[in-house]
Structure 1
Amino acid sequence: MAINATEKPLSKVFTSDYQFTIPSFQRAYIWQQSNVIQLIDDIEEASKSPQVPYFLGSLILVRDGGTHYEVIDGQQRLVSLSIIIAALRDLEKDTEWMRLLDALIVEPGDKLRGIANEPRLTLRERDAAFFREYVQEGNLEALFDLTDEDWASVAQRNIARNTHAAYDAFDDMTDDERHAFASYLVNGVTLVMVITDDLDGAHRIFDVMNMRGLPLTPSDVFKAHATSGLKPAVLDEYAARWDDIMDPLDDDPTRTEEFFSYLHLILTHKPDTGKLIEDFLTDVLQPYVAAGTVSSFIDRVLAPYAMAWRMLERPNDTVLSSTVRDRIESLNDYRHHEWKPVAMWALVNSFRKLGEPGCSPFVQRGSHSTRGVSTEASLGMHDRQRLEELFAALERVTGVDTLNRTDVVARRGHATAAIRDLDKGYPVRLVRGLSITTADRAGALVRLHGEMQGNEELVRLLLVRANEQLEKGRITRPRKLSAVPIMPLEISKAASFAQWSQDEHDYWMYRLGNMTLVQGGEDQMDKLVEFDRRRERILMRSDSRRFPLTRQLSDFAECTPAMLKHRQEETIRLIAEYWDIRYDEQHTDLTAQPVEDLAGSASITRTSHGSRRVTIAQVVKAGLLIPGETLVWERPRKGERYVATVTEHGRFRLEDGSEYTSPTAAARAAGGSSAGLDVWKRTSNGQKLGDIWKAYRLKIN
């Protein structure tokens, strides 16, 4: 079994030298939006140091003849990288950049060299055509027009949602920022290509790399360096002590790297340079080694901060007050973790005995004896009020940063500034990094007023905050909790929405006022169009009725714009109260201010539509479609031809008189296709709707 392993940048991976195929026995594409956004954030942060490469792990491949390779390990990263590149390509205005980005995921072909035009990555048979048509070939507008009922597999749903997330992340960047990201992605991100000719051998390699031959974690490196500075008499004792401290954090390299990265930030107040091992050894460990005080580092630094890390992961198992436990649980709702170093500092500096042998902050479950059980007092707790104030301020700034889409560099800057001021003994209200500026507050409120399509995770978090503020306490959540719309996506066939205009429906569809929390999955109401049936399904389970904003639906016999406006205003007010951003310094109620005034205070000069679904009504209003003009869908092989007329109300009317609010819905009704933006064309010039939709998005962005 011949094995070859080489490290290559993406510019050498996504070329005609490699034609990747996902074998049928592989699992489906399972990455979620949070995984893709974390990858984008990590690469964006790494790109700040363009001379330092970002290693994205190994691909295990089986050669399948010529340049064809089966992917044994690496599918999730290859698919996600393709999605990221497709989003960058779709937002690009420069034709040369578009061409270069396109060539990374689709081989342009070369007749002279006998190279076919085809995608560089082929998924499993069930999802290959979907991925090629919508992502690799650049039909993102058609993808954004699809709804949950159009997915034929969970993988297709993940592909669509992750493309939404990537598009929105890049839409927030300037052209120069996207170019810098793309350049680093291609030249600075590297993969190790592990290639064999034998499938069984590839699986053995996979087992060795993932089970028996794990690379050294930062903890392993730091332990070796630290123990080299210990005297022989205490070497075994403190080597074992290191293991006792770090073993509960597991041997996951990502988790241990994050822990030591945050510990470095806490101790040095320095920003991350992307060279953790080098920086931690030089800035933190070497002074202890040189002074012969490594044992002091292990006892007084490593032990308490590792214990604090564990407390943040399992707050409800600790002796912390319910107020602090609830705040930590709320902080764990966020997918960004830059709050952790401040939280670690807060715990270590609030418990004098944290990390000492025999002093555990965790409750002993199932024991009837209280002898030896730790309490806040026995752990040396001091100034509980300050600890509670600090966690409240930390959760507040984390929430506002999340709403304002603050980038990772700025979030780390907030943490660094906060710890620097806390080390100086400043009171919480004067700590930079935990304060909210006028622009921050206004920007968060503007976001709350806006559309939230494609960000189910954030919507769910915001609704939880609003409900808990109304309930005046934490609400126990069901295992599966979703945020679902009160209105259906299509109202044309719903008698209970007959009085609604299409503009009213489109305005409210993706705003907080139209969303509610419910136990179960997001797809449970897809086929219910009437309000009373949707309301009954929402209120059917007692776990859904735990949430007061959900329970309120029982008080309404019909869904009206006035009802959604009331819910929107109440939800925004509750969230603003929760984060203490409702009033400004003059005690003016900002939730009652016009959004335009808030946008001015926040210096928001550009309103982004992002990947949100474009409607026919919006395109008609923009003058890109004309009421009365006709569209045609030709299927010459089947001898079929469908005609749709654009109505003045922003719908497509088929020849049988039925009307639809999206091209996909009209295509599905006419001929069973979900590719609405691809099949409909103008009869006047043959222009595809996908091109018109993209022109609209570029116009409003």
Structure 2
Amino acid sequence: MSISAYEKPLGKVFTPDYQFSIPSFQRAYIWRRENILQLINDLEEAAKTPNTPYFLGSLILVREGGTRFSVIDGQQRLVSLSIIIAALRDLETDPEWMRLLDALIVEPGDKLRGIANEPRLTLRERDAAFFREYVQEGNLEALFDLSDDDWASNAQRNITINTKTAYDALDALSEDERHRFASYLVNGVTLVIVTTDDLDGAHRIFDVMNMRGLPLTPSDVFKAKALSGMKPAEADAWAARWDDIMDPLGDDTAQVEEFFAYLHMIVTHKPASGRLIGDFLDEVLQPYLAGGTVTAFIDKVLAPYAMAWRILERPSEALLPDEARDVLELLNDYSGHEWRPVAMWALVHSFRNLGAPGVSPFTAIGAHATRSAADAKAVLDLHDRQRLKEVLVALERATGIATLNRHSALTRRGRAAAAIRDLDKGYPVRLVRGLSVSANDRAGALVRLHGELQGEENLIRLLLIRANECKAQSRITRPRSLSALPIMPLDITQSSSFADWTQEQHDFWMYRLGNMALVQGSEDQLNRLTDYDRRRNRMLMRADSRRFPLTAQLEDFNACTPHMLHARQEETIRLIAEYWDIRYDEDHADLTAQDVEQLARDHAAKPTRGSRRVTIAQVVAAGLLIPGETLVWERPRKGERWVATVTEHGRFRLEDGSEYASPTAAAKAASGSTGNGLDVWKRTADGRKLSDIWKEYRLRY
């Protein structure tokens, strides 16, 4: 078995030297929105120090002949990197940058050298055509036009949502920032390429790299440095103390790194720079080493903050005031963890003896428990209950609004560092900069609450929990399985109770808060129910669903109408605004009663194209399509030809008289199968594809 390993920048990996394919036995693409967003945020931060490489792990490949390799380990990163590059390419306006970005994911070909034009990465057979057509070949407009029933697999769903997520995150950057990001991606991101000519050998390599010979964690490095100047007996004792503190955090390297990165922020008031070990040794440990007070660091810094971290992991089991425990559980609803250092600071500065030997903030569980909750409370020394509550409530509010406004992880870390700096100075919570909410932040959050939230199930669930608890004026115990489900079905049929709805009304409300309700159970329970009364009855069947007042309200409505969803939308937004105290401005004007477009204009929201689906009606209103003109889809080889007419209401009418509100829906109805609607329909007047017209609209508006 021949093995080779080389470290290479991404710009040397996405080249004709490597033609990657995903074997059929590999699992599908499973990365979710939070995974790709974390990668983008990490790369955005790393790009600020362009001379420092960002190591993205290893690829384990099997040679298949020539430049062709099967990917044994690394599929998730290769697919996600391709998605990020595709989004950068689509957002680009400079033809040269577009060409260079395109060449990273699609081999442009060279007839003279016998190099074929083909994608650099081929997915499993089930998803390969989808990924190539929509992502690699640059049909993002068509991808944005797809609806849930156009996906043939979960991998295609993940590809779609992650592409929209990457597009929106990168669209928030300026052109110069995107160019710096792209340049760093190509030159600063490195991978170790491990190749072998034997599949069994590749699996053995994978096993060794992932299961054995694990590298030292930051905790191991810092412990060794901290104890290096002690005598053997003393070092043994403090090594045991260190292990007692750190072992409960687990041995997940990423989690341990995150803990020390946040501890570095708490001590230095600076976000991590990407050089965790060097920065922590120099800026946190070295002053204690120089002063001979390492034991004070272990007892007074490491121990209390490690215990605070454990509380954040399991707040429901901690002996905290009810209001603090409730807010910590709400904070754990967020996928990002940038709130954690502030919460850790609040816990450590509220309990005088947190992390002390023999003191546990957790309730004993099980038949052999020897210490009661009352005993534990007597041991813990909570000295500032009110300030703990104020900090955590302000932190949850700031985190929620930052999430709604899609602030990057880099921005959120910067705000956390600023908050800790002000808290250490003793500022009142209302004056802590990192916990404050500006007028523009407030307006931006309200504008976002009015919009579509497709593909953001976790955010919808989080928002509905806050709205329902605000309406109930109390904490609501959540069932183990809790989903945010749509009141309307994904498709409306002529035989259902939604037959009177127009397609425009359905499309407008489908992914808005007014159409969502909290329900015990999963989405599967409603999949085949198309009538409102059957969907409502299924939602209300369980008592755990009826705990939530906005869900229980459905019992009072015998029909679902646009007016009903509008009323639910307005009430939900008002409740969330009240929960986070963003309903009124400085002049006590009710912002939830203002026109949302005017609100956005008044606060000069940054214009972004975003990945939101462009509708036929919008293109007609902009004059880029004219009612009455015809579109054609031809398949000469199959002898098939379909014609559609643009209506004045912003729909496509097929020759049988049926009308559709999206090009993809019209293509699906015409051919009987899912198709790339924006690419197949062409305007008869000039032969121009709809994808070009749609992109022109996005660039203009």
TM-score of the superposed pair, with normalisation by structure 2 = 0.96
Offset, 1:539: 2.9
Q: How many angstroms does 1:237 deviate by? A: 1.0
1:152 partner amino acid: A
Q: What one-letter code is carried by the residue in structure 2 that aligns with 1:272? A: A
Which deviates further from its counterpart, 332-341 or 497-506?
497-506
Matched, 1:547 2:548: yes
Question: Which digits, 9 at most, give the CA deviation of each residue in 1:626-681, with x for residues without a partner?
Answer: 22222222222222222222222222222222222222222222212312222222
1:591 maps onto 2:598 in alignment = no
1:117 alignment counterpart: 117
* Structure 2 unaligned residues grouped into runs of 5+: none
1:379-458 alignment, distance < 5 Å: 379-458=380-459
Instruction: Please give the alpha-carbon distance, in whole angstroms, between the structure 2 residues aligned to 1:296 and 1:561.
Output: 63
- Does 1:282 find its partner at 2:285? no
Q: Using the alignment, how far apart are the partners of 1:505 and 1:127 within structure 2?
A: 29
Cα drift, residue 495 of structure 1: 5.9
Q: Deviations over 1:429-467 (max 9, x none)?
A: 222211222222222222222332332322221111111
SS, match of residue 517 in structure 1: strand
1:490 and 1:647 map into 2 onto residues whose CA distance is 21
Alignment partners' CA distance in 1, 2:495 and 2:447:
32
C-alpha spacing 1:140/1:371, structure 2 compared with 1 (3 Å): closer
Shift of residue 211, structure 1, vs aligned partner: 0.9
8 Å CA contact 1:21–1:70 kept in 2: the answer is yes
Confirm or deny: 8 A CA contact 1:7 1:192 kept in the other structure. Answer: yes
Secondary structure of the equivalent of 1:673? coil
1:395-451 superposed Cα distances (whole Å, 9 cap, x missing partner): 011111111222233212221121112112222222221122222222222222233
CA distance in 1, matches of 2:621, 2:218: 57
1:40, CA displacement in angstroms? Answer: 0.7
Show CA shifts across 1:151-194 (max 9, x none): 22111111111111111112222222221211111111111111
Secondary structure in structure 1 of the residue aligned to 2:637: coil
Establish whether residue 462 from structure 1 lines up as the match of residue 463 from structure 2: yes
Structure-2 separation of matches of 1:48 and 1:602 = 29
* Matching of residue 94 in structure 1 with residue 121 in structure 2: no
Tell me, yes or no, if the aligned pair for 2:331 and 2:396 is still in contact at 8 Å: yes
Deviation at 1:269? 1.2
Query: Any residues of structure 2 matched to 1:142-161 within 5 Å, and which?
Result: 142-161=142-161
Retained in 1: the 8 A contact 2:635–2:641? yes
Match of 1:618 in 2: 618
Shift of 1:70: 0.9
Q: How many residues align?
A: 699
- SS of 2:357's partner is coil
SS of structure 2 residue aligned to 1:146:
coil
Name the amino acid aligned to 2:39. L
Aligned-partner residue type, residue 128 of structure 1: A
Name the CA distance, whole Å, in 2 between partners of 1:523 and 1:12: 44
- Measure how far apart 1:525 and its partner are: 4.2
**Aligned residue number for residue 248 of structure 1:** 248
Relative to structure 1, the CA distance from residue 557 to residue 600 in structure 2 (aligned partners, 3 Å threshold; closer, same or farther) is same
SS of the aligned residue for 1:414 comes to: helix
Residue equivalent to 1:684: 685
Residues 521, 622 of structure 1: alpha-carbon distance in 2 compared, 3 angstrom cutoff: farther
C-alpha separation between the residues in 2 aligned to 1:403 and 1:469? 18
1:508-542 alpha-carbon deviations (Å, 9 max, x no partner): 33332222223344465455444334333433444
Q: Report if the CA contact (8 A) 1:440-1:602 is conserved.
A: no
Rounded to whole Å, the distance in 2 between the matches of 1:614 and 1:215 is 48
Structure 1: 5+ residue runs without aligned partners?
none
- Equivalent residues in 2 for 1:477-488 (5 A)? 477-488=478-489
User: How far has the Cα of 1:360 moved from its partner?
Assistant: 0.7
Distance 1:502 1:668, change over 3 A: closer
Relative to structure 1, the CA distance from residue 288 to residue 130 in structure 2 (aligned partners, 3 Å threshold; closer, same or farther) is same
How far 1:598 sits from its partner (Å)? 2.9
| Higher mean displacement: 586-595 or 459-468 | 586-595
Give yes or no for contact 1:532–1:557 (8 Å, CA) kept in 2.
yes
> How big is the shift at 1:276?
1.0
Check the 8 A contact 2:88/2:167 in 1, yes or no: yes
Aligned to 2:663: 663
Aligned partner of 1:557 in structure 2 is 558
Is the 1:502–1:649 contact (alpha carbons within 8 Å) kept by the matching residues of 2?
A: no
Partners of 2:94 and 2:334 lie apart in 1 by 35
SS for the counterpart of 1:273 is coil
Alpha-carbon distance, 1:83 to partner: 0.9
Structure 1 equivalent of residue 164 of structure 2? 164
Determine if contact 2:61/2:69 at 8 Å carries over to the other structure.
yes
- Structure 1 window deviating more from structure 2 (71-80 vs 643-652): it is 643-652
Question: Does the 8 Å contact 2:363/2:372 carry over to 1?
Answer: no
Q: Which amino acid aligns with 1:470?
A: K
Q: What does 1:23-38 correspond to in 2, within 5 Å?
A: 23-38=23-38
Aligned to 1:648: 648
Instruction: State the partner residue of 1:202.
Output: 202
Q: How do residues 52-201 of structure 1 correspond to structure 2 at under 5 angstroms? A: 52-201=52-201
Deviation at 1:315, TM superposition (A): 0.4
- For residues 254 and 368 of structure 2, the distance between their equivalents in structure 1, rounded to whole angstroms, comes to 38
For 1:236-274, what per-residue CA distance to the aligned partner results, in whole angstroms no more than 9, with x for missing partners? 111121122111112222111111111011011123221
CA distance in 2, matches of 1:77, 1:438: 38
Quick one: structure 1 residues 563 and 470, their matched pair in 2 at CA, closer, same or farther if it must change by over 3 Å?
Answer: same
Q: Quote the offset at 1:485 in angstroms.
A: 2.9
How many angstroms does 1:503 deviate by? 4.6
Matched, 1:260 2:257: no
CA shift at 1:685, angstroms?
A: 2.3
Identical-residue share of aligned pairs (%): 74
Report the AA paired with residue 344 of structure 1.
M
1:552-578 deviation per Cα after TM superposition (whole angstroms, max 9, x unaligned): 122112222322221111111111111
Equivalent-residue separation in structure 2 for 1:542 and 1:609 (angstroms): 43
Residues 227 and 350 of structure 1: is their aligned pair in 2 closer, same or farther, counting only changes over 3 Å? same
Q: Distance in 2 between matches of 1:177 and 1:384?
A: 43
- In the alignment, which residue of structure 2 is the partner of 1:6? 6
Aligned to 2:21: 21
- The corresponding residue for 2:477 is 476
Decide whether the 8 Å contact of 1:230 with 1:294 is kept in 2.
Answer: no
Q: Which position in structure 1 is the counterpart of 2:366? A: 366
Query: One-letter code of the match for 1:693?
Result: W
Look up the SS of the partner of 2:434 in the other structure. coil
* C-alpha distance in 1 between matches for 2:685 and 2:222: 69
- C-alpha distance in 1, partners of 2:522/2:665? 23
Query: Partner letter of residue 326 of structure 1?
Result: D
Q: Which whole-Å CA distance do the structure 2 matches of 1:495 and 1:699 have between them? A: 38
Q: For residues 480 and 173 of structure 1, do their structure 2 counterparts lie closer, same or farther at Cα, with a shift above 3 Å needed?
A: farther
After TM superposition, the structure 1 = structure 2 runs for residues 497-536 of structure 1, keeping only pairs within 5 Å, are 497=498, 499-522=500-523, 525-536=526-537
Aligned residue number for residue 322 of structure 2: 322
Q: 1:683 to 1:584 in 2, by over 3 A?
A: closer
Q: 3-state SS of the aligned residue for 1:207?
A: helix
What do the CA deviations read for 1:34-61 (whole angstroms, capped 9, x no partner)?
1111111111111111111111111111
Alignment check: 8 A CA contact 2:503 2:660 kept: no
Alpha-carbon spacing, 1:572–1:592, altered in 2? closer, same or farther (3 Å) = same
Change (3 A) 1:601 1:683: closer
Please give the secondary structure, in 1, of the residue aligned with 2:261.
Answer: helix
2:224 aligned partner, one-letter code: A
Q: How far is the alpha carbon of 1:596 from its aligned partner?
A: 4.2
Determine the C-alpha separation between the residues in 2 that align with 1:376 and 1:51: 51
- Corresponding residue of 1:43: 43
